[in-house]
Structure 1
Amino acid sequence: MTFKEALATLPQYILPHHFLSSMMRKVSRSENTFIKTLFITQIIKHYGVNMAESMIEDIRAFKSFNHFFTRELKPGLRPVTNEPNAIASPADGAISQAGAITDGNIFQAKGKSFTATDLLGGSAERAAPFNNGVFSTIYLAPKDYHRMHMPTTGTLREMVHVPGRLFSVNTVTANNVPGLFARNERVVAIFDTAAGPMALVMVGAIFVCSIETVWHGEVTPPSATSVQTWQYNDKPVTLNIGEELGRFNMGSTIIVLFGKDAAQWREGLIAGEVVKLGEKIGQYY
């Protein structure tokens, strides 16, 4: 760890993550004209947000900063792959890592890994179908579209809310905080698909005010003190490839898992590659 990386990472261990995120939640949802305009204009300027893609281009029309952050795109801008057996990118972002789940371990960065069991809430039974399968981790930057969509058609079996910290999930933090994605608060959705079980893990981060799904609404906050689960066997929720499944109210990371011999990523899908919602990132068998 360099001195610069230490300055960016080590203070995060002592920050009151959830308190800061709750404050940001209030600010981001404020409808005060000065506050929302200030935040929106600064994010657009600093990160280079392409407002020509937004359904709403006039920033004065957004009710709050969060309304801007979770903005819809204009129809047709993100065509969903129609190739047979394709796996589509669930979001706009950049590949953090993509590869094999080796003996239950998922590679994070710079020699750091975490287990699928820890990532999925501590249940070895829940993680077992993904042993020796494949994973892809996609980081959403502040400029990105922040709604998530289905990588392939699936029927929801279970949702899990896993409490935890709220470290940043940027590249510097991922390189230096061990087990980052299995430490942060997250929402896990397990789907049955034509490729077998698929796990979608929506990872929270500092200043991520909430994670929502289309079938439940806001899952977090509030933050629980223990793992919570919801079963959907009696109320099946089926979503087609490309359909919206949820959103981050502020930016973060989504991780996609498939089981052994069920899928493979396309050649060249490597760390740092920019991906767009709906484009083919792999295929299932």
Structure 2
Amino acid sequence: MTIRSLIARLTQQEDLNFLLTNRIPRAAVTRFIGWFSKIEQPLVRDLSIACWRMFSDLDLSEARKTSFESLHDCFTRELRPGLRPYDSDASIVASPCDAIVGAFGAIADTELFQIKGAPYSLLDLLGDPALVDTHRNGRFVTLRLTSSMYHRFHAPADCVIEQVTFIHGDTWNVNPIALKRVERLFCKNERAVLQTRLSGGEALTLVPVAAILVASIRLHFLDRILNAQSKGPVVFPCDVAVAKGDELGWFEHGSTIIVLTPDHFEFCDNIADGARIRAGQRLMRKPA
């Protein structure tokens, strides 16, 4: 048995996985990893990436660079140009990121699910009653990024970003084991609420949710990194036009993006629980 298969077998034991990834000082560990990952020392970098490979299916063959300054540089890597083409159909809302579909469906009034049988409310997630009314009875999809995936996210459609709200919170792991055990987990973790308006006037909202080891969200159009150390305003009015596929920012590890649309949007045939999807592939369709 290889070391990787042994590690995989151990982490598949739910009690042990939950203990190792949640019953630790999450905020302190996250701050430490944030500092450690930026150390630009070849031995530290190489050992860190080797350890990461041992625990995951990390594949750097698509990376734009062949060498990295630090673990953080590897986490936030760009891909070679042309590897994530965005669907050109104007009626399609594309996936903003590489991900695994965690949950999707209709919002029942204002209730949606982190996984089957684990509901939470739009108000707890968004914190804005007006925005809740906008997405009442709408559609949602939860996209989970694993630690080894490409961590940058992009505009899912041509749109105008109208406001960003940063909500301070915890750093629970967002893997399926934690989602089954921690009620309203997405509503407890740090997150950013990106309110956008599509070219047809429809509201589309993206909610990047941070997690353990990753409580930093970089947003290029604000030229800011949002995390527990962020001071000052938490609401950022915007008027930023972006084209489908434009890079919006990145996570500094792996996490989740929740996509919210109006009720008349339909899920594309490739969307199913547990399906793997790449940035740019079809997510939802706006009927003609």
Common fold by TM > 0.5 = yes
Inter-partner Cα distance in structure 2 for 1:111 and 1:247: 30
Which of 71, 82, 105 is the aligned partner of 1:99? 105
Q: Secondary structure at the residue paired with 2:258?
A: strand
Confirm or deny that 1:160 pairs with 2:160. no
Match of 2:31 in 1: 22
CA contact (8 A) 1:49 1:144 kept: yes
CA contact (8 A) 1:154 1:193 kept: yes
Match of 1:49 in 2: 58
Residue by residue over 1:204-235, the C-alpha shift from the partner in whole angstroms, topping out at 9 and shown as x without a partner, is: 00010411111123332244699821112xxx
Residue by residue over 1:59-78, the C-alpha shift from the partner in whole angstroms, topping out at 9 and shown as x without a partner, is: xx311101111111111111
Match of 1:254 in 2: 257
Which of 188, 194, 204 is the aligned partner of 1:183? 188
TM-score (norm 1): 0.90
Which of 118, 127, 132 is the aligned partner of 2:132? 127
Inter-partner Cα distance in structure 1 for 2:105 and 2:158: 22
Pairing of 1:111-150 with structure 2 (within 5 A): 111-120=117-126, 122-150=127-155
- Percent identity between matched residues is 29
Inter-partner Cα distance in structure 2 for 1:275 and 1:246: 18
Displacement of 1:7 in angstroms is 3.9
Q: Secondary structure at the residue paired with 1:53?
A: coil
Inter-partner Cα distance in structure 1 for 2:147 and 2:111: 29
Displacement of 1:22 in angstroms is 0.7
C-alpha RMSD of the superposition: 2.0
Inter-partner Cα distance in structure 1 for 2:39 and 2:184: 34
Letter of the aligned partner of 2:28 in structure 1? F
CA contact (8 A) 1:70 1:249 kept: yes
Q: 1:225 to 1:55 in 2, by over 3 A?
A: closer
Q: Secondary structure at the residue paired with 2:72?
A: helix
Displacement of 1:83 in angstroms is 2.0
Displacement of 1:10 in angstroms is 5.9
Displacement of 1:13 in angstroms is 6.2
Letter of the aligned partner of 1:284 in structure 2? K
Residue by residue over 1:14-40, the C-alpha shift from the partner in whole angstroms, topping out at 9 and shown as x without a partner, is: 533222111110111111221111111
Structure 1 gap ranges (5+): none
Confirm or deny that 1:230 pairs with 2:236. yes
Inter-partner Cα distance in structure 2 for 1:109 and 1:82: 31
Confirm or deny that 1:200 pairs with 2:210. no
CA contact (8 A) 1:108 1:174 kept: yes
Displacement of 1:47 in angstroms is 1.9
CA contact (8 A) 2:95 2:282 kept: yes
Inter-partner Cα distance in structure 1 for 2:277 and 2:70: 27
CA contact (8 A) 1:9 1:177 kept: no
Displacement of 1:264 in angstroms is 1.4
Q: 1:13 to 1:94 in 2, by over 3 A?
A: closer
CA contact (8 A) 1:96 1:271 kept: yes
CA contact (8 A) 1:186 1:202 kept: yes
Displacement of 1:86 in angstroms is 0.8
Match of 2:268 in 1: 266
Residue by residue over 1:143-182, the C-alpha shift from the partner in whole angstroms, topping out at 9 and shown as x without a partner, is: 1100001111110111001111110001111122111111
Letter of the aligned partner of 2:43 in structure 1? F
Inter-partner Cα distance in structure 1 for 2:70 and 2:173: 23
Aligned residues: 275
Confirm or deny that 1:151 pairs with 2:156. yes
Displacement of 1:281 in angstroms is 1.5
Q: 1:21 to 1:88 in 2, by over 3 A?
A: same
Displacement of 1:4 in angstroms is 4.1
Q: 1:11 to 1:66 in 2, by over 3 A?
A: closer
